[in-house]
Structure formats: structure tokens, C-alpha cells
Amino acid sequence: MKYYAFIFLLSAAILQAQEKLQDTTKIQALEQVYLNGVRVAADSPITHSNLSKQDLAKRNLGQDIPLLLNYLPGVVTTSDAGAGVGYTGIRVRGSDATRVNVTINGIPYNDSESQGTFWVNLPDFASSIESLQLQRGVGTSTNGSGSFGASLNIATDRYSKEAYAQIANSFGSFDTRKHSVKFSTGLLNDKVEISGRVSNITSDGYIDRASSDLKSYFLQGSYKTDNSFIKALVFGGREITYQSWFGIDEQTFSTNPTFNPAGIYTDEDGTVRFHQNQVDDYDQDHYQLIWNERFNNNWSTSMTLNYTKGSGFFEEYKEDAALDFHGLLPVTIDGETSDNSDLVRRRWLENNFYALSANANYKDENWDTTSGVFYSYYQGLHFGEVIWATNFTGANLGDRYYDGTGDKHEFTAFSKATYQLTNSLSFFGDLQMRVVNYKTAGLTSDKVNMVVDEQYAFFNPKFGASYTLNQGNQVYVSYGRASREPRRSDFEQGVFTPEILDDYELGWRFTGKNINLSTNLYYMDYKDQLVLTGQLDDSGGFIRETSGNSYRAGLEVEADFKVLNQLHVRPNISLSSNKNEDFTTSKDGGLVNLGTTNISFSPSFIAGNSIDYSPLENLQVALLAKYVGQQYMGNIDSQTSKLDAYFLNDFNINYTITKLSFAKSLVLQGLVNNIFDIKYVSNGYFYTYDDDFTTPGTVTTIEGAGLYPQAGINFLVGATLTF
């Protein structure tokens, strides 16, 4: 009912809207005004890559957005279930998803408390993306947490002038299926359009029981005049995924790589079983209202309102758990009192996120300036409940055994400008002030008091210049600062110090008759960087620690060679050095200074390539390659923590049939992943613990690792019919 009510209110707002004064400027430029606050132009002094709707559609057969970005420079992706459906992750320049700022229509998508990006909550969202821009490094000012590796700016579907209906279906390995229906009314009376999509993706996963049942929707209404553009959206999804973040050891990887220990227990008869509902179950809905207004050829404004509602839990079976810890009373059976029991518990997260973004843009022959403000308020509720227990009399089952809250206020103001001094030389400046207040109360899931009331104020300046040497050559230089507060789990670990990053970039762009080339050098200087230790907490999230001084330095090259009219070769490479300086760790009962060590999850060599060939006008085939060098899962250069390098190749084919009697077009697609059936691991975890029992009087540090195996050769095929 909430969606029908939304449509009714949207229609009423459209009918009551007043038409503005006429202007000759094209409306399609006005529609994207809100992106001025987070995106940059092609010739800006910011290192970036763009992908269009058409780029994404070539491989959009059900895998998540990180997998669709896998071939961009400096990007490493992974999948818990091993096949790209369900929980997936992305790292850019060695920085994990919590440090990649993601916005959707200028509104932060990163969770305010965990700072993570959970694409599983928006399945098939790629089918509703118009374009995206990945800025590597600090980039330009954006809303939400600071960009410590990259920022990803997503724009959802534009309005369609023509009405259409679209049915898309795909099938593949591990019983993966995607079914999607999409429609648009086209522009009614040249002013109003309503469009939408519903999708369902299911997969058994490569890993045992790593199943996914994902549902999503997208509905938007657009209203335009020559000087006004209003768009209202509601989109979201429901995900139920069997947990697959426990990983396996190296020996199991060699003998049984699909084994999943999640939910394992032994019944009363001594039989090993698996809890069938060891799942994540989460529902998330987003509501956005975007209003763009053009006053004349120089001035335009944009305002976006957002509300996001999330609610869900993950369920787990616990053997021989303490009843008292879970708020349950001891049970006496046949005269024997038991303080422990097998039980099933659910740990819940419910949250509300409110946001307002507004900016104004001025543009003339020399100046292009955008100033704006952003405010958000986040409410998070964390609690746990026991839903079943073997030794239980029914007194208080379902009561909360822990309860905690987290409230976060954020205010940002920025002003950025590009000044074209001459036809060849332009300057860029960007000043941002960001104020964050985070307050918690109650207990953590470990039933530890968590009382935090911290406020942070950050000033983040950015400057750059671009110089055009001649028609085909441009160079640029930039400096940017980013600052960010700790996340909720960092506070739980006793970390309160914010991180600071100074990013220096030097780039060269070349455009020739048959080649486009982008090359850049970067040096990212960190103070108190929070690096991943390699260890996981009890909900599968990576634990972080402050590394003091550290840096990332590298070279990135991205090219497009037009070998023939029908043949393009698009390679990219990333060479980097990622180091902790004077790194101190606990080892064998004492603190040890290891000096300079490698930062965790930061391979020094990453390369990608795409060979695209179109033998016929409506036929495209592509051979895609990705190489990821060896990396450490910890910061102490332990051989136990090392992940081997891997080299993957995928094959993609698209064939379009037009001039059908019953439809506008039929697109047939195929994707074969890992065509050489490479056995590899793209992610894992690393842990240490002190053993003081083996040899009395001594403490020995024991090391171990968990691995997330990825699927061998697998395929997806699909068909999209447009009416």
C-alpha cells in the first residue's frame, strides 16, 4: 500500500506544479544539475573513469555492481558466495568498501555507522543506472564519509521520451536466475513520465548453501518544463542470503573448496548438521525527491530530499551457549540444572536515514562554480533476541538480551570552482567543511556498555590545474585532503582518533586519431590510517587498527586503442607501493617494531584488459582479462597471510535483433567467467593469538588464515525483449 500511496502523492504534486518561464537551454542538461555537486568534467584535474548505461548493460546478467566495475583501473572485487551474487565487495587502490564513498543521485549510500556499502540490499540496481563515475583518490567534494580510496557517484535512470516495456531473463551456473520487468510511459504531454522496474535474482552460489533470494523494485516519476525538472523516486530491495563469510583453511581449500562451516552443529545423536536458516534477512527502502531549476543561462539550482528505511537481522545457531548471557534462566530437567543450551538467536539492525542536499551552480565563459550544503540524520537500533533453545521452559523467550542505539548528525558545506584563465589553462578549487556528531547508548552485541558522544570538525581543501599543451595533449596536477571519523566498530575497539589523508596527483591525457590514453602518478600520505588487521569480528566485518604514518604511491595507465573500426583494445595497469611506516605489533608476549611493512589487502600490481570486436553491426564479442598481484591479508608481512596472485579471463557476447514484427528489439547475451577454470582466492582473513599453554612460562604467537574461494568456469546467458 505504501507504494500506491507514493504514486498518488507523486501524481498530485505533478498536477499542481506550475510551469516556469521558457528558456532555450536543453532540458537534458538541467536534469543532471544535481550531479554538479559530486562529479567532474572530462578535462578536470581529477583522476576518474566513467561508465554509461550501455557499458553496464553488456554484462548485466545478474552479478552485482562491484563485479561490473571489476575491469576499471586499481579495482579488486570479491564475492562471499564465489559467483558474484549475494554479498560482494570492492577495493580501490587497496582501500576497502568502507573507504569508498558512494552516492546515489548525490545522496550517500554508505551506512552511516559501519561506513560499509551493501550492494546486496539493491539487487539488479545496475538495470536502473544511467551512468556512474569512479573518482580515484580524494577526488572532489562529495556528501557523506570522506573518500580515502575512491568515490563512486551513481545517477539513476533519466526520463524516456518514448514509451517502452522490457522483459529481461537470464540463467546460469549454480542455478542462477534473474528476471526483470521494466517500463516507461514516455513523456505524456511532453511533460510527465512514469517508469519502473521489478526484479528477482536467485542463486545457489558456488559455496555450499551460499544461496541468495533477492528482490528489488524501482519506481520514478518525472515532470519537466524548459526550466524545471522534478523527479520523485522510490527504490529498494529485500535480500535473504545464507551466510558464507566464515571462510575455510588452506587444507580444506585444497580438498573441498566449496565447504561452508556456517550453521554447523552436532545433534543429540552425534550427527553433524547445518542450521537451514543461518541467513541474513534485510529490507531497505529509499525515497528521493529531486528538484532542479534553471533561472537563466548562468544560474541553476538543485535540491534533493531523501529518506531511507532499513530493517533486518542475521540468524545463527549457537551450540552450548550460556543462558545467562542471553537473558535466559537456568533450566532444571530431571533434577539437573543446566546453565547452557543450544539456541538460535537473531541480531537485528533497524535504522532511519534522513538527508537534504542543496546546491547552486553558476556558469559563464570563464567560471563554473557550485556551492552547496548537506545535512543528514541517522538513527540506528541494534538488538538481539533468542527465538529457540533446547533447554528452555518458555519464561522469556524472544526478549532482547542486548539493546543499543547510535545517532549520527552530519553537516557539510562546500564551494568549488573551475576558472578558465586562457584557452589552454584552467584552475580548480574546492573547499569543504564537514561536521559530524556521533552518539551511542546501551550495550554492544557482546553486552559491553557503549557510551560515545564525539564531535568532529573537518576542513578539506582541494586544488588543481589543467593545461592543454596542444590539440591532443593535456596535463593536470591536483592536491586534495580528506578526513574521516571512526566507524561504530572502531569505537568498540577503543579507536577515537580521526584519519587524515593528503593526496597528490599528476596526470597526462592524450587523444589521438586511434588512441585515447590517461596516465597519472599519485602519492597518498596518511596520518592515523585505519588499516584492516585481517581479523573478523563476530558478524563477519573486518577489524581495523591505527597504523600511524603510512602511504600509497603509484602509477595508473588507462588506454583505448582503435586497432580497426571494429576492433578496440582497452588495457589498464596499476603499479603501487603501499606501506605502513614504523609499524608496531604484539608478538610472542611483547611489542615489536617491524619498521616498514605492506598495508593489508593492497596488491602492488593490478592489470585489466578488454578486447572488443564487432564483426557485424549488431554483434559484439569481448575477451576480458584481469590480473591481481599477490597481497597480504595482514600488516606484518606474514607468509601465512599472503594471498597468491591470480589471472582471470572472461568472454562476453551480445547480439541485437531489430525490425521484429512483435517487438522493437531482442538482445541475446552470454557471459563465460573464468574461461580457463583457474582455482583462486580473491579475499580472506588473517588472525593471530597468544598461546601460553604449550610451553609453560613462554608466550608464542600463533597465526592462521581463512580463505574465500571463487568459482571456476561458470556462465550466464540472457535475453532482453523490448516492446
Check: CB of residue 312 under 8 Å from CB of residue 285.
no
With 70 as the cut, is the pLDDT of residue 611 above it?
yes
CATH number reported for the structural domain that contains residue 344 in this entry: 2.40.170.20
Integer Cα distance of 150 and 130 in angstroms: 20
> What pLDDT does residue 689 have?
87
Q: Which percentage of the chain shows pLDDT scores above 70?
A: 94
With 60 as the cut, is the pLDDT of residue 13 above it?
no
> What pLDDT does residue 328 have?
87
Integer Cα distance of 643 and 375 in angstroms: 41
In-domain check, residue 564? yes
Cα-based distances in Å from 594 to 547, 579, 582, 633, 686: 12, 12, 6, 16, 17
With 90 as the cut, is the pLDDT of residue 465 above it?
yes
With 80 as the cut, is the pLDDT of residue 109 above it?
yes
Domain range for 378: 20-722
Least confident of 265-279, 318-332, 373-387, 510-524: 318-332
3-class state of residue 80 by DSSP: coil
> What pLDDT does residue 337 have?
84
Check: CB of residue 438 under 8 Å from CB of residue 376.
no
> What pLDDT does residue 398 have?
79
Strands 150-156 and 100-104, by their bridges, are parallel
Integer Cα distance of 110 and 115 in angstroms: 5
With 90 as the cut, is the pLDDT of residue 716 above it?
yes
In-domain check, residue 352? yes
With 50 as the cut, is the pLDDT of residue 27 above it?
no
Q: Each residue of 528-570: pLDDT tens digit?
A: 999 999 999 988 889 999 998 999 999 999 999 999 999 999 9
In-domain check, residue 29? yes
Check: CB of residue 552 under 8 Å from CB of residue 93.
yes
With 70 as the cut, is the pLDDT of residue 376 above it?
yes
> What pLDDT does residue 6 have?
39
DSSP string, 590-627: EEEEEEEEEPTT--SEEEEEEEEEEEETTEEEEEEEEE
In-domain check, residue 11? no
Q: Each residue of 489-506: pLDDT tens digit?
A: 999 999 999 999 999 999
> What pLDDT does residue 14 have?
34
With 80 as the cut, is the pLDDT of residue 397 above it?
no
Number of domains in the chain: 1
With 80 as the cut, is the pLDDT of residue 17 above it?
no
Least confident of 220-234, 282-296, 330-344: 330-344
Report residue 394's pLDDT band, with 50, 70 and 90 as the boundaries: low
With 60 as the cut, is the pLDDT of residue 26 above it?
no
CA dihedral 608, 651, 55, 573 (to 10 degrees): 0
Which cell goes with 171? Answer: 540463467
> What pLDDT does residue 467 have?
97
In-domain check, residue 3? no
> What pLDDT does residue 29 have?
61
DSSP string, 619-686: EEEEEEEEEE--EESSSS--GGGEEPPEEEEEEEEEEEEE--SS-SEEEEEEEEESTT----EEEEEE
Strands 631-632 and 619-628, by their bridges, are unpaired
Check: CB of residue 238 under 8 Å from CB of residue 215.
yes
In-domain check, residue 223? yes
With 70 as the cut, is the pLDDT of residue 20 above it?
no
In-domain check, residue 209? yes
> What pLDDT does residue 217 have?
97
In-domain check, residue 382? yes
Report residue 690's pLDDT band, with 50, 70 and 90 as the boundaries: confident
Which run of H or E residues covers position 488?
A: helix 488-492
Distance, CA of 109 to chain centre: 8
Higher pLDDT, 98 or 659: 98
Check: CB of residue 131 under 8 Å from CB of residue 153.
no
Which amino acid is present at 335? G
Higher pLDDT, 20 or 707: 707
| Mean pLDDT, rounded, for 85-97 | 94
Which cell goes with 405? Answer: 542505539
With 50 as the cut, is the pLDDT of residue 4 above it?
no
Check: CB of residue 679 under 8 Å from CB of residue 710.
no
> What pLDDT does residue 330 have?
85
Integer Cα distance of 228 and 21 in angstroms: 9
pTM higher than 0.75: yes
Check: CB of residue 94 under 8 Å from CB of residue 576.
yes
